[in-house]
Structure 1
Amino acid sequence: MTDSIENRIAEQRAHLESTLDEIENKLNVPKQFNRYADKAKSSYDENPVPWIVGATAVAISIVGIVAWAIFSDDE
C-alpha cells in the first residue's frame, strides 16, 4: 500500500517538475526571443525572397509616410 502511494507521489512530483519547466520555458523572454530569431534566420536562409519583398514594402511605406508628412498641405 505504501509503495503505491510513494509511486504516485513520485509520479506527481515528476509531472509537476515537467509542468514547471514548461512554464519557465514559455516565460523566459530571452530564450523565446532566441528561438524565434533562429526560426526567422532559418526561414530567411531557406528562401530570402519573401523577406526582401517585405523589407522593400516597409521601406516604401516609410518613405511614403515621410514624403506625405513633408509635402502635405497643413493649411
Structure 2
Amino acid sequence: MSDAIENAKAAAAKARHELADTLEAIEDKFDVPKRTGELVDKAKAAYERNPVPWIVGGAAVAIVALGLVAWAIFGGDDD
C-alpha cells in the first residue's frame, strides 16, 4: 500500500512539474516586451550587417508618404 501511495505522490509531483514548465513556456511566448526587445535586437544586428536594404526601404517609405501628401494637397476634388 505504501508503494502505491509513494508512486501516486511521485506521479503527482511529476505532473505538477510538467504543468509548471508548460505554463512558463506559455508565459514566455506571450511576453510582449521580451519579444519586442528580441525583434529590435535582430533588426539592429541586420542593419549592422548590411544597412543598404534598410536605407532603401526607408527612402521608399518616405517617397510614398510624400506622394500621398502631395496627392492629398494637389489632387483635384471631383465633387
Name the TM-score class by shorter chain: 0.7 to 0.9
- Number of residue-to-residue matches in the alignment: 75
Question: Of the two, which has the highest radius of gyration?
Answer: 2
Using the alignment, how far apart are the partners of 2:36 and 2:29 within structure 1? 11
Does residue 15 of structure 1 match 2:25?
no
- Report the TM-score when normalising by structure 1: 0.84
The residue that corresponds to 2:33 in the other structure is 30
Structure 1 stretches of 5 or more lacking a match?
Answer: none
Identity over the aligned pairs, expressed in percent?
48
In structure 2, the partner of 1:74 is 77
- TM-score for both structures, normalised by structure 2: 0.81
**What value does the CA root-mean-square deviation take over the aligned residues?**
1.4
Deviations 1:2-38 (A, max 9, x none): 3332222222112111111111112222111111111
Q: Structure 2: 5+ residue runs without aligned partners? A: none
SS in 2 for 1:74: coil
Runs of 4+ in structure 1 over 4 Å off: none
Is 2:42 aligned against 1:53?
Answer: no
Give the whole-Å Cα distance in 1 for the aligned partners of 2:32 and 2:38. Answer: 10
